[in-house]
Amino acid sequence: MSKLKTFGLGGVHPHDRKSRTNGKPIEDAGIPAVAVIPMSQHLGSPADCTVEVGAKVEEGMPIGKSSGFISANIHSPVTGTVKEIGRVFLPNGTSSQAISIEVEESFSPKSSWKADKNWEELSKEELIDLVADMGIVGLGGATFPLNVKLKVPTGSTVEYLIINGVECEPYLTADHRGMLELTDKIFKGIEILYKIMEPEKVFIGIENNKPDAIKVMSQKASAMSFPTEVVPLKLRYPQGDEKQLIQAVTGREIPSGALPLAIGCIVSNVGTVYSLYEAVVLGKPLIERILTVSGGAIKEPKNLRVRIGTPISELIEKCGGFSEVPEKVVVGGPMMGFAIFDLDTPVTKGTSGILALTLKEVNSSVRTSCLNCGKCIQACPMGLNPTTLFKYIDHQDYDGAKDIGLLDCKECGSCGYTCPAHIPLIHGMKLGKLILRKNQQKQNKVKA
Amino acid sequence: MSEKQNMLITASPQIHGPETTAKIMWLVTLSLVPAGIWGIFVFGARSILVIGVSILASVISEYVIARISKKSTILDGSAFLTGLLIGYNMPAAVPLFIPAVASVFAIVVVKWSFGGLGGNWMNPALAGRVFVFFSWTGGMTTWTMPGTVHNVADTVSHASPLGFIKAGLLDFSGALHGPVEFLSNQGYPHSGMAESIAEWFGNIGITISYTYIDGFLGNIPGCIGEVSALLLLLGGIFLLIRKIITWHIPVAYFGSFALLVWIFGGLRYNTGFFTGDPLFHILTGGMMLGVLFMATDMVTSPITGKGMIIFGVGAGLLTFMIRFYGSFPEGVSLAIILMNIFVPMINRYTQPVRFGTRGSKK
């Protein structure tokens, strides 16, 4: 066997802990009694709420309208009555306007969806508009509105379309199960993307801890009418990041601050591609997603198909509840996810997993002074110097931090995971970026 | 739900790798244990006392200062390690107040006046050693002959191989093939172990001089923990495997030093260029201990691989200069301390190359 591809700089090897759920078929999580739908579930400005308290909504009906260039529509995942329009805390600690919908007792999800038009007859522009209507966003974690990504500016060309089946975060197996169980539908989604982007070639990147998925996807890929290749990748975090994945697959490096299009690439997650299929072929908006509920404190870890707006506590109960008191409950993967304080936080479009972690798994320890060991530098996939960045931020020199690349940091967590001194490096990076952004806004105001 | 108030909120990453500061310090300590046991074996029970006093003085100083600064740093193991290294850097016959002073100086002045662990810019153990070396040079250079070396009337006050050569070469004008021949000509003692090993190798047709064997095993006068090149090397390999140190500093340090000794080392014996004996110089003196355990100290060495190579080459050059052209037989501790001073500057010019700034490889 030839040498497996991977990215260049840095990276870490946390235990993947996927064996708990990677053999478990996707189950339906059921319908919540009350669905809480935040208006901010995507990158960019929150959607404008289009319903009022007391209104009757139906499954799939638009209830939030895209409010800007980077924003997305939001649809009701259930049939019922709007009980309240208030605010909720999102997993990342910010708050958002949210619509609470009391679900009708007689409600059962529509079993068959059918699009109004055959997608093969639609033009590229019509397809992109349809994606926007259906509120599709990237499900890999960044929740970037898909229609914005699909609009290739004139002058740019897409050479490679890269489908991200890496799922490099430990514990998570939703994409893995999706590739095994929904293979045909994912490939239908890839066909749609191919029609919109017209790339020279399609690559599907999958890490080699999912040999069954590599096999199934390769078989299907060889039967496609356009060049499609499954690229097995060496297990390494953060390979699922756009920049690392492109480098692993094509050897190209995105210039600092640029988009993948600058080097002729577009990356889309398998989960997103599946939602694209549902939206375009079935006319079903993004009201459901697949996620993994796992962690040492969960009794029966599972892969679940979940309605957006379902409270996390209901999913934990669906998985048998806690086997012990968790040290942390995390939304997303353990490397980039958010610890939450309220188990009634709703599932949003970006929720890729729910993890109840034990003290042993969290493995926190006393913070000591920086030893200058340089392990964070060795771990950083962006070639940054995390410890020096942290010192700049600690000394409130945010512009100094910016000069040595703070904005290139994507908070993958490799440095913080490695640091023997247990310095909260990512916490510092997040804070530094936030303050830089605030300072920028202030400056803009003064100028205006 | 009742679990609500118990849940911990932190920024990502939500899990952490296995390393901690304390684990690193204790693993380094562990890797030093075999060499210390050897030192006690050859130099006698007094070595235990010397090492014990060093550790005790170091840990007590750390405790007192940490108490004053309202911090708790005893369990991170760094003070224990500093004390252990100071003990290893003492001759077995040293008056006991010397290691105590060295430890207090290392912890109080070198380490804590710059803010404690991580703040110091000079290796505390080495700084402590150098401080007492210049203050009480006599006590610091009275060597004990290892118990494994026989036919020696007086076991105390023998010169170390390097010191013996340094002194002997002052009025030397002949031509000899390097330090090994010089030592055997002058009747420098060797161990019974070396005799039997050399004989064994002789039987299979390989000639090895006693000096190399004694240097490699540690049957030479020297500081307690520095003599056994073999056991220190094993400890260093353990640290490399555990990824506590990287290859950069040892390779650059040994490499540059060996190269310089090979090129210029022969000039002293009037045999011309490219006739030096790097192996002898690596196996004797504080080279192994210094390169593998002191130069690689995380706190006082550069932070990137590139920087570590510059640091290692610089230390190799300085060690060569001091050993061959300075007035001391030993140069490792001074060379490392001098290079410690350059670390901030080295770091400044060896920052990592950022992703996406090298132009894409198409």
Which residues of B fall within a CB distance of 8 Å from A170? 15
Check CB contact under 8 Å for A313 and B1.
yes
Q: Would an 8 Å CB–CB cutoff place A409 in contact with chain B?
A: no
Return the SS3 of A444. Answer: helix
Q: Give the chain B residue whose CA is nearest to the CA of A378.
A: B304
Residue B20 has pLDDT above 80, yes or no: yes
Confidence of residue B155 (pLDDT cuts 50, 70, 90): low
Cβ contact B296:B303 at 8 Å: no
Which residues of A fall within a CB distance of 8 Å from B26? none
Say what angle helices B210-217 and B178-185 make with each other, to 10 degrees.
100
Cβ contact A307:A110 at 8 Å: no
* Degrees to nearest 5, angle at CA A254 with A387 and A220: 115
Cβ contact A273:A137 at 8 Å: no
- Taking only the tens place, the pLDDT of each residue in A291-339 is 999 999 999 999 999 999 999 999 999 999 999 999 999 999 999 999 9
Q: Would an 8 Å CB–CB cutoff place A320 in contact with chain B?
A: no
Residue A396 has pLDDT above 50, yes or no: yes
Res A77: pLDDT: 95
Q: How many CA atoms lie within 13 A of B61 on its CB side?
A: 28
Check CB contact under 8 Å for B3 and A343.
yes
Instruction: Report the gap between the CA of A68 and the closest CA in chain B (Å).
Output: 29
Which residues of B fall within a CB distance of 8 Å from A255? 356-357, 359-360
Cα gap A104→A79, rounded to integer Å: 6
- Taking only the tens place, the pLDDT of each residue in B195-238 is 999 999 999 988 898 999 999 999 999 999 999 999 999 999 99
Res A115: pLDDT: 86
Confidence of residue B356 (pLDDT cuts 50, 70, 90): confident
Q: Give the chain B residue whose CA is nearest to the CA of A330.
A: B14
Check CB contact under 8 Å for B8 and A335.
no
Most B-contacting residue of A372, A380, A406 (CB-CB within 10 A), to test interface: A372
Q: Give the chain B residue whose CA is nearest to the CA of A430.
A: B11
Confidence of residue B49 (pLDDT cuts 50, 70, 90): very high
Q: Complex ipTM, two decimals? A: 0.88
CA distances from A133 to A3, B51, B228 (A): 43, 75, 75
Number of Cβ within 10 Å of residue B217's Cβ equals: 22
Cα gap B216→B287, rounded to integer Å: 12
- Taking only the tens place, the pLDDT of each residue in B291-323 is 999 999 999 999 999 999 999 999 999 999 999
List b or e across B304-317, with b for residues whose CB sees 16 or more CB atoms inside 10 angstroms.
Answer: bbbbbbbbbbbbbb
Q: Would an 8 Å CB–CB cutoff place A400 in contact with chain B?
A: no
Most B-contacting residue of A340, A360, A368, A394 (CB-CB within 10 A), to test interface: A368
Cα gap A224→A414, rounded to integer Å: 37
Instruction: Report the gap between the CA of A367 and the closest CA in chain B (Å).
Output: 9
Which residues of A fall within a CB distance of 8 Å from B248? none
Interface of A with B in 232-271 (CB under 8 A): 243, 251-258, 263
Cα gap B338→B126, rounded to integer Å: 11
Q: Encoding tokens for residue A245? A: 């994945």
Cβ contact B47:B37 at 8 Å: no
Give the list of residues 6+ apart from residue B347 with CB closer than 8 angstroms, or none: B302, B303, B304, B307
Res A14: pLDDT: 94
Cβ contact B37:B87 at 8 Å: no
Measured between CB atoms, which of A253, A341, A374 is closest to B303? A374
CA distances from A111 to A32, A108, A271, A282, A419 (A): 17, 8, 20, 11, 49
Q: Would an 8 Å CB–CB cutoff place A395 in contact with chain B?
A: no
Instruction: Report the gap between the CA of B281 and the closest CA in chain A (Å).
Output: 29
By CB neighbour count within 10 A (0-12 exposed, 13-18 middle, 19+ buried), where does B357 fall?
A: middle
Interface of A with B in 19-48 (CB under 8 A): none
Q: Would an 8 Å CB–CB cutoff place B341 in contact with chain A?
A: no
Average pLDDT taken over every residue of chain A = 94
Instruction: Kindly compute the dihedral angle of the four CA atoms of residues A144, A145, A150, A152, in this order, to the nearest 10 degrees.
Output: -70
Q: Give the chain A residue whose CA is nearest to the CA of B5.
A: A341
Q: Nearest 5°: phi and psi at A28?
A: -85, 135
Residue B359 has pLDDT above 70, yes or no: no
Q: For chain A, first and last CA: distance in Å?
A: 61
Res B157: pLDDT: 60
Instruction: Report the gap between the CA of A324 and the closest CA in chain B (Å).
Output: 10
pTM score of the predicted model: 0.91
Q: Nearest 5°: phi and psi at B228?
A: -85, 95
Q: Nearest 5°: phi and psi at A63?
A: -125, -10
Instruction: Report the gap between the CA of A204 and the closest CA in chain B (Å).
Output: 20
Write B153-156 long-range contacts (CB < 8 A, 24+): B156/B93
Q: Would an 8 Å CB–CB cutoff place A383 in contact with chain B?
A: yes
Whose tokens are 């990748």? That residue is A233
Cβ contact A60:A134 at 8 Å: no
Residue B149 has pLDDT above 90, yes or no: no
